[in-house]
Amino acid sequence: MAGYRRDEARDWAREALVGVINCTIPSFTSDLTRLNEAAIRHDTRLAIEHGFMGTLGVSEVSITLPEYLEFLRVIKDEAGDRLVVTHHASWNNLEQNIEAVRGAEAAGAEFVLLSYPPNFYPQSEQDIYDYTKAMCDATNLAVMLFPMFLWGFSSRIHPSDIPASLIRRLIDDCPNIAAIKAEGGFPSIQSVIECDRLFGKEVVISMPIEGELIPLSQIMPIQLSATSDHEYYGPLIPRVFNLLRQGKFDEATAIYWQMHPARKIKSALAAQMHGGNFINRQAWKFQGWLQGYNGGPLRMPTQRIHDPQMIALRKGLIDAGLTPSMDPLRDFFVGRNPA
């Protein structure tokens, strides 16, 4: 259970959510029939070693809800108070999402990333308001709003995906909305600037994209980068985040340019790998494997990653002066903790 009351969520977030939250993707046994607990614990320990202050338990893979809740329990058991365990509220419909968030709270999650189901087709801002408020009302946990192009709202609701006027209503009516993952209108940076200007004194504003985090942090305060596949860079994003918080902008900028070869390759492959308005979690799992995370097989249906993409992602890290795993690519599909 969270160590704060629902009406304390924003105060808790301001104090606790300082740092970088990565993503932990579930790992399975080689026959794909059950969770691989040793692999999950391995990834949790490595996230702590790399300096992350929290991790998102990714739900957008082929996993049952009971398995997912057990996945969160394993992360929490391994991490204790060393990570803010974040629930990925991305399930089939409102009813299942309510069941999931209540189960996640009981499993030890402290924070919620709010998503919207693929079959949710709002016709108005009010529809988004009703769904979001119902989710917030169903939990005592701090919730992070997520304006994002993936939901498909921009073509009929607002170009910013979730307009500031609607965010204002939700903040006023949902006291446990404690953060905003400000990617509205991506790749524009207007959303994070607008959210900081309008809501930054009330809730925490997150910039999850490291290529925007590093420059923007030099002209505006950003206390949270959550949630993203930061594990692709190993411990580098928590390190540069700390430099930014200390005002060491020259050192942070040097790291920005050091990372640029990997950033360019990762960005170039994104459109190719993340088709259908869905994130390729297999690719994210491979990115983590390059930095020592477990890797391992995912269940069908899953998107794929092929040799040219894997080789390019590894080369990006090498060109950035980092030291990715040089193990044979086939080993990724086995995992570092086979069971």
Give residue for tokens 């579930």. 26
Local confidence band at 272 (pLDDT 50, 70, 90 cut-offs):
confident
Structural domains of the chain, ranges and CATH numbers in brackets: 6-248 (3.20.20.70)
Residues 241, 46: Cα–Cα separation, whole Å: 18
3-state secondary structure of 116: coil
pLDDT at residue 277 greater than cutoff 90: no
- Strand ranges (E), the chain: 19-24, 54-57, 84-89, 111-114, 142-145, 177-181, 204-206, 224-225
Residues 70, 279: Cα–Cα separation, whole Å: 23
Q: Cβ(238)–Cβ(50) under 8 Å?
A: yes
Cis omega (within 30 of 0) on the bond before 187? Answer: yes
Mean pLDDT of 116-132: 97
pLDDT at residue 256 greater than cutoff 80: yes
- For position 201, what pLDDT does the model report? 98
Alpha helix ranges (H) inside the chain: 9-16, 37-49, 65-79, 94-107, 125-137, 164-173, 190-199, 210-216, 236-245, 249-273, 281-289, 307-319
Local confidence band at 270 (pLDDT 50, 70, 90 cut-offs):
confident
pLDDT at residue 274 greater than cutoff 80: no
Q: Cβ(259)–Cβ(233) under 8 Å?
A: yes
Give CA 146 to chain center in angstroms: 10
Q: What pLDDT, in 10s, does the model give residues 163-189?
A: 999 999 999 999 999 999 999 998 899
Question: How far is it between the farthest Cα atoms of the chain?
Answer: 53
Q: What pLDDT, in 10s, does the model give residues 147-162?
A: 999 999 998 999 999 9
Residues 179, 10: Cα–Cα separation, whole Å: 8
Local confidence band at 333 (pLDDT 50, 70, 90 cut-offs):
very high
pLDDT at residue 1 greater than cutoff 90: no
pLDDT at residue 271 greater than cutoff 90: no
Q: What pLDDT, in 10s, does the model give residues 31-82?
A: 999 999 999 999 999 999 999 999 999 999 999 999 999 999 999 999 999 9
Q: Based on C-alpha coordinates, what's the Rg of the chain? A: 19
Q: pTM score, two decimals?
A: 0.97
> Could you give the dihedral angle defined by the CA atoms of residues 326, 330, 331 and 332, in that order, rounded to the nearest 10 degrees?
90
Local confidence band at 278 (pLDDT 50, 70, 90 cut-offs):
confident
- For position 173, what pLDDT does the model report? 98
| Residue type at 174 in one-letter notation | C
State the CB neighbour count (10 A cutoff) for residue 123.
9
Q: Cβ(43)–Cβ(288) under 8 Å?
A: yes
| Per-residue three-class SS string for 204-253 | EEECCCHHHHHHHCCCCCCCEECCCCHHHHCCHHHHHHHHHHCCCHHHHH
> What is the average pLDDT value for the chain, to the nearest integer?
97
Angle between helices 164-173 and 125-137 (to 10 degrees): 30
159: which DSSP letter?
T
- For position 73, what pLDDT does the model report? 98
More confident residue, 8 or 186: 8
Mean pLDDT of 88-111: 98
